[in-house]
Structure 1
């Protein structure tokens, strides 16, 4: 893996890794015989050859990746909780919309003979056409108010759905952080191991023979970085 230009490898850390490689090399750690023996074992059992300080660095890397994974999982849990709340608000808004739509249907029903009858002594004196006109005007107003209620309720549903979509997008942006940091951390530790091995081979009495054997271990990205995605949490609100 090629390190990205913004990969941070502080000079003090480089000095420490070179020093550790020099000290191990001067102390013949590991010996050529040990490396040969490990090669034979790994040829039978499989695995990668790691020696000396490599083991420490790989353990540190594993711990850091685990911490990033925990952070990633917490983000997913936070999103699940937020989406649950969003879904509750959407459900309530949709229920309100259904009630408003029912109200509009009721208001739109044609006037019944019962509604066209006079309701007081004053209305008894009105002509039938005047009474019907008054009733139709009142009905039109009810329909208008009911239609406005439906529009407002539909707007609330759309706002709640937009809030949900925004929550998903914000999580996707935030959740990319641990994955990016994991990639950079893997790159950093590959560079650290490379510096350590180079210093070890340079200072080891049998370094010329050891160096081709002490290859950089393959460090695959964790599955949650390469296979998981924030999009997998929920994308319904984005369609």
Structure 2
């Protein structure tokens, strides 16, 4: 039942996208405007991303930075959140710093990051990681605090070391919360990827869109935006598939609990 529902939802989403694209084509045909190119022109520019120079100068550099920055945010954020959630005595010391950094607009640190790292991939990876790490930290911290203390006490009585308690008891119980934080961080990382490429960049999708806008290449601008949306759609689908694989036990348990 759930698989058929998921297939129907996917088909409905694709149909909705198709209707929006059809409306775009009709609007551009009936009311031509210099800043609204026809769909076939944009699609021709869109296909150029998958071969030739644009693949190596726009798409792959952005995906490379996104993968490293997002990976650092997930791994480091999970570690920090689990540690702070488990060692609750650190909360009063660390939480004010986390709250300050969390509400600091990531765009505001771009000039400082540019001064520290220069116009390098390291600067852009840092911006992506900094902007997307806090949802993971807070989700992991909150999930670790909600772990039943009885489970931790039983693990301690049975002689499990602290690393064993974390990986065998706490981490499995916190995974649903961590994945919720990762889903939020995913969209933030994609946004920060584009923003980091708008300043002092010579490659990447953000640089391509900004350069096309300055040169009045409207079809390329729309094609870049469409590609970003497609990347976000694919990454979200992959994340949901990974989440379903790792949390199959949790969904089964929730279904059994709801049936009682």
TM value normalised by structure 1:
0.32
Higher relative contact order, structure no. (Cα contacts within 8 Å, ≥ 6 residues apart)? 1
Q: Is the radius of gyration larger for structure 1 or structure 2?
A: 1
Scaled by the length of structure 2, the TM-score of the pair is: 0.30
